[in-house]
A and B are shown apart, each in its own frame.
Chain A
């Protein structure tokens, strides 16, 4: 049983979703207090004899008892849902009402409803993701600030803004509501961003980033397992995450440095995740929808199924990037397309493709834009130009791992050795 981080976070999220439904979203902070009390007491008790086998059920039972006490204590001081208000006035109806609120069928959709609630259209995407991290993944403000390399105060502000909007909504999002479909797209987007933060994000802590990916996978799985949410796009989002996450173990080498795709030890990729991802990708092909997630999942699938870098089907990848650019025009997508073109047609063509990107200046602060130029110049044999680009990228690096990776590239150029000879397709 894993007793640190994830266990606590998972239980916190589950209890919070349930108690928020029980007390009503306007009493969110009350729900949070009760969750903290419940967990604190359990951790203290379990320090002596160990964590009991049915700890989840015990925690929920303990939360239920606390909820009973809260209703008794606060029934006159606080406003609860109108339907509940008269039931909690009398001890005769209070207990059965609360018992019912904690029965398995009532608990079933809490986390999903919370997820949809956090993806509120009045909230900026970054606020939605921060809320999901806090409410559904159980990350504290300090942890979230470490994820974004932001100040605690900034994250606090972001989350409290989110909670205000959440608290103003009447109740947790109803999964049968009319605006289910648009809300589902917002959820996709938020989970996609959550995953990307783990996969490409700025945080230096590999452990915390792997956890972000795991959490995103878990939440995507919740969507897949809930029939109305299991749309073709949902399968595509999940496939994308599985196929990318499968390659996570290969992304850092023994000393935790980032390794470029072509240097990765593919035997370290997670075969089970790849298999699951490919199955999800297949399911995403039902229906006629072709979302940006389908295309990205397709690209991820191409990489994950190439047993050697040289075997990658670059032609098809370029084709998928072409389509992706139409659905989601962005300089980052265009940059990735240019790198695929470089694989297919040679580095000079790749450099031409980069020059042709409109809005490339928006990537000025993105270390991997300069690094991409460096890679291609190096492959063209112009190591001086390459070195300058890598140096520029190094100056932009956002964390230690990126710095180490880029510093190594600068050195490779200085030595004049074509460090990436294997990058050219055979």
Chain B
């Protein structure tokens, strides 16, 4: 088993109704991961506001990784999977993806 960090990224802020139905679906998805031994750490949702990307030593800050986008990380989790392919399958089943979110899947570096 390897570990992967899931970075949930999103550029827009959904409506409260959307967030509510998304919450219900996410809870189910997380429960499934947990049951199947894929969840190493729930992780945390991150505040959409007051954050930024530091771009240089002067402390220039932009919203997202690219100066022109607002694409921001809205949360992270630590996932256990056999390999990258399985991690991708798990991520693809996440209700956030269906709602237009991106998930960046990054293997944890092992020595």
Contact = CB atoms under 8 A, between A and B. Distances in A.
Interface in A20-64: 36, 39-40, 43-51
A49 B23 contact: no
B16 A3 contact: no
A140 B17 CA distance: 9
Contact of A48 (B13, B17, B75): B75
B55 to A, nearest CB: 26
Contacts of B24: 3-4
A48 B39 CA distance: 12
Interface stretch (B42-50, B64-72, B102-110): B42-50
A4 B45 contact: no
Interface string B1-39: 000000000000101110111111011001000000000
User: Which of B20, B75, B77 has the most A CB atoms < 10 Å from its CB?
Assistant: B20
Contacts of B90: none
B74 interface: yes
A8 interface: yes
Contact of B19 (A7, A40, A49): A40
A4 B77 CA distance: 24
B20 A4 contact: yes
Interface in A339-386: none
Do most interface residues of chain A lie in helix, strand or loop, or is the interface mixed?
A: helix
B16 A47 contact: no
A3 B27 CA distance: 9
A3 B42 contact: no
Contacts of A140: 17
Contacts of A36: 16
A282 B60 CA distance: 73
Contacts of B27: 3, 46-47, 50-51
B21 A4 contact: yes
Interface in A147-169: none
B44 A39 contact: no
A37 B30 CA distance: 24
Given A3-B23, A4-B21, A43-B23, A48 B45 contact: yes
Nearest to A35: B16
B26 A8 contact: no
A283 B87 CA distance: 62
A47 B17 contact: no
B19 A44 contact: yes
Given A8-B17, A39-B16, A47 B23 contact: yes
A45 B20 contact: no
Given A47-B27, A48-B26, A50-B27, A8 B20 contact: yes
Given A3-B24, A3-B27, A4-B24, A48 B42 contact: yes
A48 B16 contact: no
B93 to A, nearest CB: 15
User: Which of B17, B43, B75 has the most A CB atoms < 10 Å from its CB?
Assistant: B17
Nearest to A36: B16
A48 B19 contact: no
Contact of A49 (B16, B42, B48): B42
A36 B44 CA distance: 21
A47 B26 contact: yes
User: Which of A36, A47, A50, A51 has the most B CB atoms < 10 Å from its CB?
Assistant: A47
Contacts of B17: 8, 140
Interface in B40-88: 42-45, 48, 74-75, 77
Contacts of B44: 48
A46 B23 contact: yes
Contact of A44 (B42, B74, B77): B74
B45 to A, nearest CB: 5
Given A8-B16, A50-B27, A44 B45 contact: yes
Contacts of A51: 23, 27
B41 to A, nearest CB: 10
A20 B13 CA distance: 25
A162 B26 CA distance: 37
A48 B46 CA distance: 10
Nearest to B27: A50
A407 B25 CA distance: 39
Interface of A: 3-4, 7-8, 36, 39-40, 43-51, 140
Given A39-B20, A40-B13, 19 more contacts: A3-B24, A8-B16, A8-B20, A39-B19, A40-B15, A40-B19, A43-B22, A44-B23, A44-B74, A46-B23, A47-B22, A47-B23, A48-B26, A48-B30, A48-B42, A48-B44, A48-B75, A50-B27, A140-B17
25 contacts: A3-B20, A4-B20, A8-B17, A8-B20, A36-B16, A39-B16, A39-B19, A40-B13, A40-B19, A43-B23, A44-B19, A44-B45, A44-B48, A44-B74, A46-B27, A47-B22, A47-B23, A48-B26, A48-B30, A48-B42, A48-B45, A48-B75, A48-B77, A50-B27, A140-B17
